[in-house]
Structure 1
Amino acid sequence: MGVPPDEVRGRVALRFGERSLTYGALAGAAGALAARIRGAGRVAVWATPELETAVAVTGALLAGVAAVPLNPKSGEKELAHIVGDSAPDLILVAPGAELPSVLADLARLDVDASAASAASATGAAPAAEVSDADPALVVYTSGTTGPPKGAVLPRRALATTLDALADAWQWTADDVLVHGLPLFHVHGLVLGILGPLRRGGSVRHLGRFDTEGVARELNGGATMLFGVPTMYHRIAEALPGDPELAKALAGARLLVSGSAALPVHDHERIAASTGRRVIERYGMTETLMNTSVRADGEARAGTVGVPLPGVGLRLVEEDGTEVAGYDGETVGEIQVRGPNLFTEYLNRPDATAAAFTADGWFRTGDMAVREPDGYVRIVGRKATDLIKSGGYKIGAGEIENALLEHPGVREAAVTGEPDADLGERIVAWIVPADPQCPPAAAELADHVAWRLAPHKRPRVVRYLDALPRNDMGKIMKRALVADA
């Protein structure tokens, strides 16, 4: 982003609650910040849901400096690891923000969202000379198998992903995006903030997600909504008693869900109430976006669409052989390659090497099948969602969807545990709709057997008050297994 053209300068680029910045004001504030941080190695960003976070990341991009978004809800141990590993020169924060003591030794720079840059005012673009291979962001993974790893995302990955999504979603400068996602993750930050800016459109961030905010903004001229399954579940629950919300979703151009699979039950409830279908896309920190249902394609519940332009995708068996046919049944691990990929895990050459095959494909660890027309349907994670029972390879995701179609089930997760006879037995973790009268285990097993197949029925059912989830709404299955 350099100096915006005159016809764009007055257009609102960012709005957070009552505060907003036009493209001209954003260029000024980000340009002023870029002039102050140019030449730094890396900068941390205290990624609160505020204008200053967007200005900080935009300024870092203009300066050619890699930004390390920090989750303000992270514990001190995790923050200490991330800061120690990434070694930022300073931390960018909103004025008045209180930082935890573990960050006290970092040089602090308050971001002024109202600052004007002399370079911007005179028309000289403040952007640094950079290569598309230079790092733009270092985003830390969730750390489910150890301390979080810093995925180094080059500028090329951001640009190619956003341009591929513009093609798939027919995304233009006329679009106004609504979301309430956190800004320390690629979904909320790259897609939700940098995406609209690259198109020349607008983003309205809710600060904190709620259905009232969604209805207000979509009924007030916004065209797109980004969310995670937890958000769409809340929308589906609210729709029957909220005609304004139903009207808002019905009028949206595009409803997009990501970061985890959206249960088919919620897909159908939203479609029934609004006449609009949510589309899903598939990506991860290391790859940004790999596939999506296209705006001009079929919004098929339970699938994440087809590979985006420029993305190579294949499914492989456990022995590394490629799954040849698109039969909708054969499960394989998703491997991808393309310009959307990260370059390395920071300071972890061993982990980087292990993440790629000898011929350069990234091992995602996600298991999927492909339909005859190329649509990808993810069935779960290789480590936690692929269950080998009685000689079958079973994806946890389809059993979860079947369980969620039972009226007595509010939430469901499925895992496997060792079984002397079957190898692994299927375990269902259920949050009942009525805690005083949960559906019987045999009833749920029969329901799954009837919906899917007898060998996919849960052998064990465990009841919970709530499922453990992370900040993005993903179910933390390792916590379930550890507590079993």
Structure 2
Amino acid sequence: MTPLLPALQSPTGPAASREAVRFGDLSLTYGELAAASTALAARMADAGRVAVWAAPTPETVIAVVAALRAGVPAVPLNPRTGERELAHILADSEPTAVLAGPDDALPPALEKLRRVTVDARAPEHTEGDAPAEEAPESPALIVYTSGTTGPPKGAVLPRRAIAASLDALEDAWGWTGDDVLVHALPLFHVHGLILGVLGPLRRGGSLRHLGKFSTEGVARELGSGGTMLFGVPTMYHRLAEVLDAPAGGAERDALAGALAGARLLVSGSAALPVHDHERIAAATGRRVIERYGMTETLMNTGIRADGVPRPGTVGPPLAGVELRLVEEDGTVLEGTEAIGEIQVRGPNLFTGYLNRPDATAAAHTADGWFRTGDVGTVDGDGYVRIVGRKATDLIKSGGYKIGAGEIENVLLGHPGVREAAVTGEEDPDLGERVVAWVVASDPDSPPLAEELADHVAAQLAPHKRPRTVHFLDALPRNDLGKIMKRSLHVR
């Protein structure tokens, strides 16, 4: 049976001394990570399930790798989770132990669990054989959703889904063991943990985690051997701001050179505004590419490294993934003008929601397609454009279907707008009216609401103009930088 992380099975010779992960001044070679994870795996062989306090540290990497090698499902915990949500996750997943670093301060909710301390500076070692590889359908991780429509649900991700997604990205991005990935993503979610940690380890490459995102850190690591950068739109927005600064200077030049030298710049977890795409491309000559996935499906689509970058799209379906658009009544849509819910099918899908057969059944069609809840279009070349979430980003106004994302991109192209979000609100005449939530570039002199509405109408269509504009100091965002539109309401 093919190992999930083949480079860690029995690294010897040059492979053993190759750097696997680096966090600040602490790095682990493949030999060190293999030895430490093998020793820890032996201690948790009969654990049932384990929780991992997923701080951005090498201890989290050792803990997750050890759980995977032991065949014990791991539940990554967000260190910023509130007491109520954490209590729900623990009651639902029932871990028998929590794996944490020696300096991690754990909340009271975790005190009843056996604490297993993982220390990357003084790791355990063992001379024993590597654990036997688990079956492809065995659960590897239980990752909890964001809980925007109720208590978080635990998506059970089998080893098969992780391997399928990472191998599809190897095909799309030409990802090899020579790649050095740079990122600062949290390690409790799919993007930072599966793509950002397990991705390099499956390929036999290297990860350099910044700990905390900074433009200086990106420039330093990409300028000293990094080949790939993974980030979310807020991170790329900050990069674009530095690149676009009128003063310029050494910081701007160093960042532009580092980004220009990278093999691949990848954005995900939310749509990257076209305005930021263009600013980065103008300063570096390098296009950011996007991909599309979610907790339950891992990766669905992606711009290929040898493909044509198209800002505003997330590329065609990855190898092995089937994708279709569906109308509300279940009709499968065809044609490049069609807008419908995205449904996917393939080896990248999760097994189901832990303890929730009802939710698992509701999330799938009778013929096995997963209902993503995202709305999109597909062009003639198979490139997918995400309109947004069915519940929050598809606005039905005056008989038209309007995607919030395209209006947001136009607003962000206005010089007076720093951030923007668009929602729909009930309207007795239109059904829903378009509402814009704007953070002004200059809070002391924001643009007029009518000016912004005319700006949208001139570039898109009159029926897409915002009927109401609210100015905010900042937009509400979650840990991955996604705008929490359900928090936007008139007070």
| TM-score above 0.5, yes or no | yes
Aligned to 1:48: 55
Aligned to 2:151: 147
Q: SS of the counterpart of 2:79?
A: coil
Aligned to 1:100: 107
Aligned to 2:274: 264
Q: Is residue 21 of structure 2 the alignment partner of residue 14 of structure 1?
A: yes
Runs of 4+ in 1 over 2 A off after TM superposition: 112-120
Letter in 1 for 2:350: F
| Unaligned residue ranges in structure 1 (runs of 5+) | none
Deviations 1:117-157 (A, max 9, x none): 3335xxx3x22341100000000000000111000000001
**Match for residue 348 of structure 1 among 314, 338, 356:** 356
Q: SS of the counterpart of 2:334?
A: coil
Contact 1:25 1:116 in 2 (8 A): no
Q: SS of the counterpart of 1:434?
A: coil
Q: SS of the counterpart of 1:187?
A: helix
Contact 1:449 1:455 in 2 (8 A): yes
Matches within 5 A, 1:258-297: 258-297=268-307
Aligned to 1:398: 406
Aligned to 1:132: 136
Letter in 1 for 2:38: G
Q: SS of the counterpart of 2:488?
A: helix
Letter in 2 for 1:437: S
Q: Tell me by how many angstroms 1:423 deviates.
A: 0.4
Aligned counterparts of 2:13 and 2:407: Cα–Cα separation in 1: 54
Aligned to 2:427: 419
Q: SS of the counterpart of 1:372?
A: coil
Matches within 5 A, 1:283-432: 283-325=293-335, 327=336, 329-432=337-440
Aligned counterparts of 1:375 and 1:94: Cα–Cα separation in 2: 43
Give the CA RMSD over aligned residues.
0.9
Q: Tell me by how many angstroms 1:116 deviates.
A: 4.5
| Unaligned residue ranges in structure 2 (runs of 5+) | 1-7
Q: Tell me by how many angstroms 1:239 deviates.
A: 1.2
Q: SS of the counterpart of 2:15?
A: helix
Deviations 1:99-127 (A, max 9, x none): 0111111110001324343335xxx3x22
Q: Is residue 484 of structure 2 the alignment partner of residue 480 of structure 1?
A: no
Aligned counterparts of 2:13 and 2:66: Cα–Cα separation in 1: 20
Letter in 1 for 2:114: A
Matches within 5 A, 1:423-442: 423-442=431-450
Q: SS of the counterpart of 1:54?
A: helix
**Match for residue 459 of structure 2 among 451, 457, 474:** 451
Letter in 1 for 2:325: L
Aligned counterparts of 1:2 and 1:361: Cα–Cα separation in 2: 35
Aligned counterparts of 1:369 and 1:99: Cα–Cα separation in 2: 44
Aligned length: 477
**Match for residue 39 of structure 2 among 32, 39, 47:** 32
Aligned counterparts of 1:370 and 1:447: Cα–Cα separation in 2: 26
Q: Tell me by how many angstroms 1:3 deviates.
A: 1.3
Aligned counterparts of 2:267 and 2:342: Cα–Cα separation in 1: 20
Aligned to 1:248: 258
Contact 1:140 1:149 in 2 (8 A): yes
Deviations 1:245-287 (A, max 9, x none): 0000000000000000000000000000000000000000000
Letter in 2 for 1:172: T
Letter in 1 for 2:457: A
Q: SS of the counterpart of 2:127?
A: helix
Q: Tell me by how many angstroms 1:7 deviates.
A: 2.8
Q: Is residue 116 of structure 2 the alignment partner of residue 109 of structure 1?
A: yes
Q: SS of the counterpart of 1:446?
A: helix
Q: Output the TM-score relative to the length of structure 1.
A: 0.97
Q: Tell me by how many angstroms 1:408 deviates.
A: 0.4
Contact 2:100 2:118 in 1 (8 A): yes
Aligned counterparts of 1:224 and 1:99: Cα–Cα separation in 2: 33
Contact 1:431 1:467 in 2 (8 A): yes
Aligned counterparts of 1:398 and 1:425: Cα–Cα separation in 2: 15
Contact 1:42 1:66 in 2 (8 A): yes
Aligned to 2:174: 170
Q: Tell me by how many angstroms 1:5 deviates.
A: 3.8
Q: Is residue 85 of structure 2 the alignment partner of residue 78 of structure 1?
A: yes
**Match for residue 73 of structure 2 among 66, 70, 81:** 66
Aligned counterparts of 2:62 and 2:146: Cα–Cα separation in 1: 25
Contact 1:370 1:376 in 2 (8 A): yes
Q: Is residue 468 of structure 2 the alignment partner of residue 464 of structure 1?
A: no
Contact 2:40 2:124 in 1 (8 A): no
**Match for residue 198 of structure 2 among 189, 194, 199:** 194
Q: Tell me by how many angstroms 1:436 deviates.
A: 1.1
Deviations 1:283-341 (A, max 9, x none): 0000000000000001110000000000010011111111112x1x3211000011101
Aligned counterparts of 2:397 and 2:425: Cα–Cα separation in 1: 10
Q: Tell me by how many angstroms 1:40 deviates.
A: 1.4
| Residue range with higher mean Cα deviation, 268-277 or 237-246 | 237-246
Deviations 1:189-221 (A, max 9, x none): 000000000000000000000000000000001
Aligned counterparts of 1:92 and 1:390: Cα–Cα separation in 2: 54
Q: SS of the counterpart of 1:119?
A: coil
Q: SS of the counterpart of 2:452?
A: helix
**Match for residue 126 of structure 2 among 88, 110, 118:** 118
Aligned counterparts of 1:75 and 1:310: Cα–Cα separation in 2: 37
Aligned counterparts of 2:240 and 2:133: Cα–Cα separation in 1: 47
Q: Tell me by how many angstroms 1:433 deviates.
A: 0.5
Letter in 1 for 2:171: D
Identity over aligned residues, as a percent? 72
Letter in 2 for 1:458: P
